[in-house]
Chains A and B, each alone.
Chain A
Amino acid sequence: MIQVLVNSIVYASEIAIIAVGVSLCYSILRFANFAHIQFAVVGGYLTYSFATIPGLALPLPLAMLASAVVTGLMAILIDILVFSRLRNTSAEGKMIVSWGVALFIRSIVAAIYGGSARVFDVPSSTIVVGDAVFTTLDVAIACATLVLMVALHLFLYRTRVGSGLRALASNQELAVTRGIPGDRLIRLMWFLSGSLAAIGGSLIAIQTRLQPSMDLVILLPIFAAVTIGGLNNVFGAVIGAVILSLAQNFLIWIDFGSLFFGDPWHIPTKFRDYVAVLALVLVLLLRSRSSAAAAKR
């Protein structure tokens, strides 16, 4: 039981930190940015490079920080080159372009780093609580995410720039006519979501491994988390990540066999991915029901 909670929290942490960027972007620019997943991948690889290139070999936290800054700047660059020119394009148009950007970035990453996996060599020790086993690394990841999410919350709700961003999200035209510098804030939004994704991607990479194909593994859980939380609600994405993670881990933990038939039987772990996809589809279907009902009223 404790074990399932621990597993859920660690997974939710990694997903949430990337997912908030998707909703941040959606709330302000109104499109689902699929290239966001690549920010996480690029961030992971940059951290790896900063931490391992001979002569540089930064300690891991510094390497992550450097990677976050560079990835944030890359997100701004992509906005300048691509998305800023498409402000008046339809949401689905921008979404399709974001796939093009994603395909481009992932291929370049694969061309530079090759297809083999890279592994961070992080020493960690095991912690035992009751019958739950986890590592110091797990604790570090959960704490890092918590700190970042609190910081993001304080930034959005306690600073002038943050409230400017929120104003931009709730009503862009009104915000701009009131003198809020829209373009500069949009750049800031790109920087924030790019660097958060970089940290999230690095955490996943440290916990598991780096591979150009990791984007397809995290794509659906992240979009499921964002969808569960409501696409344009920044902290909804965090809640979505937690719900999704709990659902995934509990479903494979529950002994359905003993409950119904007598012999122990668990849902095989390979069906974990279904939970993400089914959650995504179900939430969307329920939402379409309620919006249909609203339309009838």
Chain B
Amino acid sequence: MRSPAATMEHQTVKAGSAVPVASAPTLIRLRGISKSYAGVPALSDVSVTFQAGEVHAILGENGAGKSTLMNIIAGAQQPDAGEIEFAGRRVVSMTPETAAALGIAISYQHPAVLDDLSVMENLRVALPAHLFAGRPAREVAQEILQTMALDVPLQARGDTLTVAQKQLLEIAKALAIRPKVLILDEPTASLDQDSTDILFRRIREVVQSGTSVIYITHRMAELRQIAHRVTVLRDGRVQGSALVAEVTDQDLLGMIVGRTLGSTFPPKASPNVADVVLKVTELSGRRFHNVSFEVARGQILGVAGVAGNGQTELMRALAGLQPAAGTVVLNGRTLAPHDLRHRAAFMPSDRHTEGLAAGLSARENAAVASLQKFAFSGLVSRRREVAAVSAAFGALAVKAASIEAPVLSLSGGNQQKVVMARALLSEPELIVADEPTQGVDVGARAEIYRILREVSAKGTPVIVNSSDATELEGLCDKVIVLSRGHVVETLTGTDVVEARIVAAAVSAETHAAHSIPRAAPHSKWRHIVQTDNAPTLPLALVILALALFGYSKNPNYLSAFNLTNILTLSTALGFFALGQTIPLLLGGIDLSVGPLAGFLVVVASFFINEGQSTGAIVAGFVLMAVGALAAGTINGLLIRFANFTPIAATLAMYIAIQGCSFLLRDGPGGYINSDVVAAINAQIGPVPVAFFMLLAMAILGEVGLRRLRSGWRLRATGSDEDVARRIGVPVDRTIVLGYIGTALLTALGAVMLMAQIGVGDPRQGVNYTLSSITAVVLGGTSLRGGRGTFLGTVLGALLLTEVLNIVAFIGLSQTYQYVFQGALILLATVVYSTVRGRAAMQDE
């Protein structure tokens, strides 16, 4: 099985490890760690020590508590009880920051790689600055990538990487800080043989230099290759620790299996049934390949394997929810996989995201798939619906206050029964149950097994995916075991026992070599199309072409007067749009930009008047800044700490600020000091000085966005909040500061607006909310967050102003002003989303 070279390496490790293992200093000591989620214990009284200079593997079945343990060591979660000791000193509270300071690095099973940031930026936002000090950053970054032989351009965006490449990047990041403790959570799940070999070489190197490596795995073969010591977890408890060299596979298997499951199973089907009701042949799709099996009448088929080996995808394909190739014969009819969508009933593993509609009642949830059956000519008969749902709930023994109870008020087990009731009411030809007892209490489990058995006995084939091998042993007549998307074992009859299932899953040695292809070489052109600033050039060309068109219609269009006019107008809009770019980058929105601008002008109109002292005028400007600061802070705090959506928070702010403006003035009044106006409108040639300031601001912002940590944090937060938090970005602070930044930029725009209208008018400014959003979108910033450009925003503002101006200039009616504006924004959005969509699709 293993190549001679690997065997040799294996032996060297063994030989080398024999000496340091005994005397190595303890680096981390866990004592009595317990942790439960909503009353369900994930870890109970776990005590382990991790020594410097060795690889300590943590082995266990799905749900044994491995990932929880890692999260506790990395500070991502706090234990309910127990203590952590690091190098002999007790750590009072382990947070991600403390962990990082102590030199604990973690490579997550789901890589914390941000899709909207480049490889370079992903490295720089996650790694401490001192790593990049003193040398060109590109050089450092290249070195980091080379440690894992990852060959991708530094400017490649995260979303262009394959899963394997992301995993390599994740590992390289963890290695880069030269950690004292390196935690690797299932690192090889998506790696091919070459990458796995490189990883193992690196692990041996860091171990040599004294690092303690904690290696989580499901695979016994890997354990033999790399680990010195192994600890087995089962049901959140330590089953035992041993030196790898001194323990046999049999012993380890014995420690892994034997989960206690406090429920009974219904009797199985008679083994001698030849009547095949479901026959699946050579089914292939994303993450699973050439899966074939047969289900006889009355049989329940189990799908087993280590989590993430294609079971979920197979289940979705069997329910017709995911594209797949192959043939399916169901009840004698040959079907294409997508035909299953309306014949199969799917019970998803994640009840809350895909199973139940949280806001609806138990009845509504149960009835949703079979409304047509209760209806006469489109009208649902309440009597029939209630009767059918009540009958189904009765048969499944659903416990609820009434059938109208909100579905979330039910217990987990009863929620799952509602999902089953929905499946049964739709009278399916096939039931696909993904983790049907996940989060279900013991009593309800037995009932769910009973129901599945009854359904199957009536001739509807049932397929169950479970990460719990004991459950499969008790429930299923036949089990297929998947590893990396391939069926590695088919167990039937008396072979369906936990030990056989687990052995097949953890001993499989198939590697991902052929399942995950390397990405095509990244072309230079694609990276240009992919950059956030890609829209600037076409936008500039459109602006130029439009200007020439205006000139051809009327030579005065490019006169100094009109140029100044356009640039002055676009400067105010430009500042508002720059401000609006920040929340959009964060994946939010600020509707209060317009009213805030108007309000600040009204405030100014009390101080910055003719004949006021310099002090009063300065006070006016200061008050504008203070007002903006207050508005931005309130927006940010409402969104982050009061659980308002950005729309709701800034909408309330919109209305409130407008009220404040009217409170200060009920009509236009307070003429602005003409010297101040003149100063603001100062020009160099036909170009207003302020426009240069706008450009400078945009360029500064652009540089900050690409080169400064705060810029990366901003984009990281907008790109994926959870990942950003995992890599140590202070998400709350970033967002609050972002909204404050918006308000301050709005204040700059308000200064321009003040010079334009020259008077405090509570009715002015409001329209800038929508036009600022329009300008930002024209500029190419995505509303999904994470991607955007300040430079594009300025061009967007310029283009919008130009369009409005040209319509008036060549004598078209206002109709065209609106039509052009609308067509422009829709066209831009469609173009941007197709370009991005296509670029993203190339990787599928």
Is this pair of chains taken from one and the same complex?
no
Binding site for B on A (CB under 8 A): none
